[in-house]
Amino acid sequence: MIITLTQESANGVPKKLSQWVHSVAEITKPDTVAWCDGSEEEFSSLVEGMSSAGTLIKLNERTYPNCYLHRSDPNDVARSEEATFICSQDKDDAGPTNNWMAPDEAHAKLRQLLEGCMLRRTMYVIPYLLGPVNSPYSQVGVELTDSPYVAASMEIMTKVGHAALEHLRNDEFVKGLHSMGTLDPRSKYICHFPDEKLIMSLNSNYGGNALLSKKCHSLRLASVMARDEGWLAEHMLIIGIEAPDGTLTYVTGAFPSASGKTNLTMLKPPDYMKRWNVWAVSDDIAWIHPDTDGVFRAINPESGFFAVAPNTSLKTNPRIMEMVKSNTIFTNVALSSDQTPWWEGMGEHPRKLWDWQGRVWTAGKSPGSAAHPNSRFTTSIRQYPSLSPEYDNPNGVPISAIIFGGRRSELVPLVYESFSWEHGVLIGAMLRVETTAAASGEVGVLRNDPMAMKPFCGYNIADYFNHWLSFSSKRQKVPRIFQINPFRLGPDGRFLWPGYSHNLVVLKWIVERCRGRAEAIETPIGYVPTPASLKVDGMNIPETTVSELLRVDNAAWLDELESTMLFFESLGEKLPKTLQRELERLIDRLGSDTHN
Ligand code: OXD
Ligand code: MN
């Protein structure tokens, strides 16, 4: 076993970290242990190594400089919720929405699988920093992995090397141990040990299962830390919306995976709203801390995007299309004969195409899609032209509104606002949306996904609701809470709302509510815009469509709440009384409303 320690890391490595690395190497038995410093040279050598080994394909250097395609194992294409476990001491702490395994059992099971799993491989040691340099809210993790694809992706998604070791000094760090193992889906485990701040992931090389900084650290473990320390770790985008008068309003948005978070983050204003702009702070995760004045301040722990490719095009998202044209790793997209990437929804398909598994693909003849529906691109956030100048602010950005959303073809109006923080928490808790390809399993099925955190909350979801309720307008300047739904369908089965850049019209209404300037009608479910307050010159949408988008169907809501009640019942005793009361109030308002 050769230990390669760069001078830099050798100097800054605390004993606790090097001891852990050695103890893991004793078990996993890699040929080499390589400490990553996050340098460009290191990234180049990782991608060159993978290109020679055939696990990465270099794309057209002229049109896609420094871009690569990775094809994953066909059985390893999405997050595996069924193989994801919370290993808390007490089963009740994992709660009814998580799989649980006793820590001792998990350690014993994984110990066997880890024995010699890195033989003839290199174990990369990746110290990473989540969040801005010098921020009191940032955290350090160290991932040990035998996957060069993971090592290269982590260098895009986080700040690897010096920044992490500097921040670490002697503080705690989250330990992540990942091995591709044999990729045997029957022995796939993604285990989280909140008490040990430890993650172990075996037999998957797919993003959310293998880039341990992302869902495992930034959400599952961080949500437990947030509960214990009084902050929020959320599956939310963060954007700054600039109004024509130059005022910036920051909002966060929780949407389930593959439901348009990245598109909303990178929204380019439509021609009729040229004097507005949207600045990106985060497209997936927000760590939100109330500061000493009670203001909710949010940072993005990540440094890159790992986002869904299909349906991204010059029309739907021109800003992304520009961004992914260099220094990007694509995963499971299709490939054209001139070595450029392609996916469904990008536009006309090239004459000759290889699908995501490398098979020749002909439109109308070949089965399935050319790109996998959950194919992705991994790009540094620095490449994004409208990155907020506040992205690096160690104190984060002040949040005025929280938006919940997700795919609902019926029921939920285009936008509405809650009556209070507690009512807003209810709106988040009863989020029920259509499933997408981001996780393995059926697509398009309605499921409860509270706060878009069902797969990511590292503890009992009922305690999580209680934690949300522990923030209150009495003590903090809590953000206003909204729900949006750009996915409502008309009777002809087509989307009523054009979405994408036009969503700025909805964001404008939210901003103006925060600034006390937009009108709303009080309905049983919350404040719904008056059609006039939503109107923007230049946007051509028939008034009847707007009315349909804003319609509140009381009977349909009462039906929906029956399923919310069942869901809440399934959460058992711990469900906060306040939430139950908010639900009863909502039912009463719907029952006594005579307008509809
Ligand atoms: C993601 C997800 O990859 O939510 O962001 O699945
Ligand atoms: Mn996500």
Q: Which residue in this structure is represented by tokens 């450029």?
A: 340
Residue type, 44: S
Q: What residue ranges line ligand 1, CB within 6 angstroms?
A: 79, 207-208, 257, 284, 306, 438
**pLDDT of amino acid 14:** 87
Chain length of the chain: 596
Give the DSSP H or E segment for 354.
strand 353-354
SS (H, E, C) 237-283: EEEEEECCCCCEEEEEEECCCCCCHHHHHCCCCCHHHCCCEEEEEEC
Q: Which residues pair with 175 in a beta bridge?
A: 142, 198
**CA 454 / ligand 2 centre spacing (Å):** 11
d(CA 161, CA 166) in angstroms, rounded, equals 9
d(CA 162, CA 380) in angstroms, rounded, equals 18
Q: Which residue in this structure is represented by tokens 């059926």?
A: 442
Tokens representing 562 are: 């029956």
d(CA 312, CA 318) in angstroms, rounded, equals 8
State which residues of the chain have pLDDT below 50. 7-8
- From the CA of 438, the nearest ligand is 1
Atom of ligand 1 nearest to the CA of 207: 3
d(CA 188, CA 182) in angstroms, rounded, equals 9
**CA 438 / ligand 1 centre spacing (Å):** 6
**CA 118 / ligand 1 centre spacing (Å):** 27
Atom of ligand 1 nearest to the CA of 78: 6
**CA 234 / ligand 1 centre spacing (Å):** 12
**pLDDT of amino acid 438:** 73
> Please, are residues 304 and 156 in contact by the beta-carbon 8 Å criterion?
yes
pTM: 0.96
**CA 96 / ligand 2 centre spacing (Å):** 21
Tokens representing 572 are: 């058992």
**CA 490 / ligand 1 centre spacing (Å):** 29
| DSSP 8-state symbol, 121 | S
**pLDDT of amino acid 467:** 98
- Reference 408, options 449, 461, 457; nearest CA is 449
Q: Provide the 3-class DSSP secondary structure of residue 341.
A: strand
d(CA 148, CA 146) in angstroms, rounded, equals 7
d(CA 427, CA 62) in angstroms, rounded, equals 48
d(CA 179, CA 568) in angstroms, rounded, equals 37
Atom 3 of ligand 1, residue of closest alpha carbon: 208
**pLDDT of amino acid 3:** 54
Atom 2 of ligand 1, residue of closest alpha carbon: 257
- Reference 73, options 202, 179, 178, 203; nearest CA is 203
d(CA 458, CA 194) in angstroms, rounded, equals 8
Mutation to probe ligand 1, out of 80, 283, 284, 376 (largest number of atoms < 8 A from CB): 284
**pLDDT of amino acid 10:** 56
End-to-end, the C-alpha distance of the chain in Å comes to 73
Q: Provide the 3-class DSSP secondary structure of residue 179.
A: strand
Atom of ligand 1 nearest to the CA of 257: 4
**pLDDT of amino acid 59:** 98
**CA 157 / ligand 2 centre spacing (Å):** 13
**pLDDT of amino acid 434:** 83
Atom of ligand 1 nearest to the CA of 208: 3
Atom 4 of ligand 1, residue of closest alpha carbon: 257
Mutation to probe ligand 1, out of 77, 209, 214 (largest number of atoms < 8 A from CB): 214
Q: List C-alpha distances in Å: 422 to 40, 137, 193, 265, 465.
A: 48, 26, 31, 26, 10
**pLDDT of amino acid 235:** 97
> Please, are residues 283 and 307 in contact by the beta-carbon 8 Å criterion?
yes
Atom of ligand 1 nearest to the CA of 456: 4
Task: Give the contacts of 581 (CB within 8 A, at least 6 positions apart).
Answer: none
**pLDDT of amino acid 545:** 95
- Reference 75, options 213, 179, 188, 192; nearest CA is 188
